[in-house]
Amino acid sequence: MAGFYPDKLADRVAWHANFSAQAAATGVARGLTAGQVTQIAADAIEVSNIVNYLEAVDAFSQAVTEYKNIMLEGDPGASLPPVPTVPATISVALGALPGIEARTRQFAGILRAAVGYTPEIGELYGIVAPAGGGLATPSLQVFALTASQVRVAISKGGYDVVAIDGRINGGAWTFLGIAQTAEYLDARAPVVAGQPELREYRAQGMTDNNRVGDNSAVAGVWTLP
């Protein structure tokens, strides 16, 4: 994290949503113009649109790869896999403009320079860098791919490594493995071939090969056989 602004795209969606909400509530009173508050809202929507579209494109790319593997190198007796669905065209937010990060840093500077600014206000807006780059609870997003596979997008909360647990149809939690990147692919076979199932996931930070901190919120999705 360069200062207060998140490095990871997945983290920027929630950050901009909070920044926009705070600006809508008190931004004008804290030195922003009404136009700047409106632009902050447009920027938050555009960040969400872009991140969600990138995730959809990535999921589509993986689905195409899986389709290729089944069709070209798969079992001749297997069922014909569904053709991957091309993501819809990206939505552009009303009032969207280039340079969101640079503009956001300018807005943060205005807020910090306003009369009455305090560190507590900075924390509300998210424009104060975490002390010592502190660690946070990881968070997950999950996406169903073809052939019962699930892509798990991970915000690691500052940890280098996180542990991933999973459960199926509300059963017991099972340790699936560790993730050193922002993504984990669950390629387990379904419990019942050809049937959808509810797969849920949680993550926990790891330090010196030990699990530490809180588990993430549970994220779940129904598989696509």
Q: Does the pLDDT of residue 130 top 70, yes or no?
A: no
86-104 tens-digit pLDDT: 999 998 999 999 999 999 9
Structural domain including 191 reads 135-222
Both 87 and 99 in a single domain? yes
Q: Is residue 50 part of a domain?
A: yes
Q: Is residue 1 part of a domain?
A: no
Answer for the pair 173, 203: CB distance below 8 angstroms, yes or no.
no
Sequential DSSP letters for 202-214: EEEEEETTEEESP
pLDDT band with cut points at 50, 70 and 90 for residue 2: very low
Q: pTM score, two decimals? A: 0.58
Answer for the pair 19, 44: CB distance below 8 angstroms, yes or no.
yes
Q: Is residue 20 part of a domain?
A: yes
Q: Is residue 4 part of a domain?
A: no
Both 167 and 124 in a single domain? no
Q: Is residue 14 part of a domain?
A: yes
pLDDT at 183: 87
Q: Which residue has the tokens 């930070």?
A: 205
Alpha carbons 5 and 16: distance in angstroms, whole number: 10
Give the CATH number, domain containing residue 212.
Answer: 2.60.40.10
Both 156 and 110 in a single domain? no
Domain count across the chain = 2
pLDDT at 44: 95
SS3 content of the chain, % helix, strand, coil (to 5): 40, 20, 40
Both 149 and 54 in a single domain? no
Q: Is residue 85 part of a domain?
A: yes
Both 126 and 45 in a single domain? yes
Alpha carbons 9 and 30: distance in angstroms, whole number: 27
Both 82 and 104 in a single domain? yes
